[in-house]
């Protein structure tokens, strides 16, 4: 079986910009959630969010980027540029791919919503000013595949270019499918990951109306995965891009891999549009398939970066799923949810959490779950709280679940 390795990482997260800063942010255990002035102005039912700090698209991507591209594409481009540079795919950190065959370099991104900000800007214009005032840029800005396409335009990557939407599992699903493109010989290198910029008045109101968002008025304490007081997630935005390539290809160009994407699994709950089954049945299948795909014994998994959304149903179901898969070994798996810091970044979550899982593997550190004060007694897991924990790791598991009952799980091992 063709071994697929990770050679570059790029991230924009509420916990920080760039891998080093974002990783330090989740290790701190301090939530990035804050009152959101834009949401307050719109009068949304919930006004707490986790945004990428200090981001100016025009300053970072060139004048006119705000006008031509939606925010989700802005975030994806910056994350991709960092990943390209770390993997040595370009000269002097430029975003243009020159050091590998661009015809054999693919892009595969996940996004649950796509251009949410563009929809929200253009629809009132259509209603108030008429069809003739709708921007001609509306369609290319809002399409969920625009981020992947624009990365290709700016980087020159002419290999397979696709977008996957499995809701909040999309980032992990993209990594799974990117790995499979490499195994199939359809590409030598794939930029894979996820992006979301869904912190808008309409989407926040919709999530609030369905009861998915926290009602906690204390922003810093609102995202609290696995805590007995959790009552919903805090919405966030992010982008995470990983450079995947075959181990043979990486070795031929003299690049030292960061980790091996050893296993991937996917499944459907076939249960409900938004709620997981109580026993976590779909998650069980995805986790089990990922470990089997990696060819590892269950006892090899030492850390689980949990989906851990801070919702009552998800956290309990995920805990039951983990124990169903790993049995008594569950007690020796160190668990953390980085969403306590980042909030729930929807389609980007699986990608940024894969990056955090790789960082845990490389540094032997598992970040704490922010705001875990009193663990729910029904969640029978060893969840890290308070401070990072040093753990020698042979393999790590990262799992994601999405509306529609779609599940994805990834296993990473040392390179």
Return the active site residues. Answer: 168, 307, 344
Q: Which two tokens stand for residue 360?
A: 């845990």
Q: How many residues does the chain have?
A: 415
Helices (H), 144-213: 146-155, 170-183, 201-209
Burial of 415 (C-beta count, 10 Å sphere; 0-12/13-18/19+): middle
Whole-number Cα distances in Å, 13 to 52, 275, 303? 5, 26, 21
Burial 288-297 (b: 16+ CB within 10 A, else e): bbbbebbebe
Take residue 288 and report the two structure tokens written for it.
């089990």
Lookup: tokens for 260? 């091996």
Measured CA to CA, the distance from residue 273 to residue 208 in angstroms comes to: 16
* Tokens (6 digits) for 115: 């251009």
Judged by DSSP in three states, 358 sits in helix
DSSP state of 274: S
């Amino acid at each position: 079986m063709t071994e697929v390795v990770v050679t570059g990482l790029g991230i924009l997260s509420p916990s920080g910009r760039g891998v080093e800063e974002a990783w330090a942010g989740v290790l701190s255990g301090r939530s990035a959630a804050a009152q959101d002035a834009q949401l307050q102005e719109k009068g949304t039912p919930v006004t707490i969010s986790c945004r990428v700090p200090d981001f100016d698209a025009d300053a970072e991507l060139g004048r006119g980027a705000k006008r031509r591209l939606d925010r989700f594409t802005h975030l994806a481009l910056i994350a991709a540029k960092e990943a390209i540079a770390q993997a040595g795919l370009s000269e002097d950190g430029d975003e243009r791919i020159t050091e590998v065959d661009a015809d054999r370099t693919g892009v595969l991104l996940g996004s649950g919503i796509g251009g949410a900000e563009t929809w929200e800007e253009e629809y009132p214009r259509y209603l108030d000013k008429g069809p003739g005032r709708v921007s001609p840029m509306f369609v290319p800005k809002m399409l969920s595949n625009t981020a992947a396409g624009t990365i290709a335009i700016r980087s020159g990557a002419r290999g397979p270019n696709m977008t996957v939407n499995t809701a909040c599992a999309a980032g992990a699903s993209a990594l799974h499918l990117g790995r499979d493109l490499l195994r199939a010989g359809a590409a030598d290198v794939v930029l894979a990951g996820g992006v979301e910029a869904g912190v808008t008045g309409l989407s926040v109101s919709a999530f609030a109306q369905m009861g998915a968002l926290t009602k906690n008025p204390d922003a810093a304490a609102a995202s609290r995965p696995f805590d007995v007081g959790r009552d919903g997630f805090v919405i966030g935005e992010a982008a995470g891009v990983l450079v995947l390539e075959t181990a043979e290809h990486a070795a031929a160009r003299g690049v030292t891999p960061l980790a091996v994407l050893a296993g991937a699994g996917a499944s459907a709950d076939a249960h409900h549009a938004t709620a997981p089954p109580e026993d976590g049945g779909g998650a069980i299948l995805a986790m089990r398939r990922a470990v089997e795909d990696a060819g590892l014994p269950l006892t090899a998994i030492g850390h689980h970066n949990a989906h851990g959304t801070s919702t009552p149903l998800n956290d309990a179901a995920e805990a039951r799923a983990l124990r169903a898969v790993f049995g008594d070994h569950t007690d020796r798996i160190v668990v953390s949810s980085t969403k306590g810091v980042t909030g729930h970044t929807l389609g980007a979550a699986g990608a940024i959490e894969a990056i955090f899982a790789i960082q845990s593997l490389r540094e032997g550190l598992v970040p704490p779950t922010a705001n875990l004060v009193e663990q729910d007694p029904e969640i029978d897991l060893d969840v890290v709280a308070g401070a990072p924990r040093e753990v020698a790791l042979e393999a790590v598991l990262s799992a994601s679940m999405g509306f529609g009952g779609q599940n994805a799980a990834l296993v990473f091992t040392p390179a």
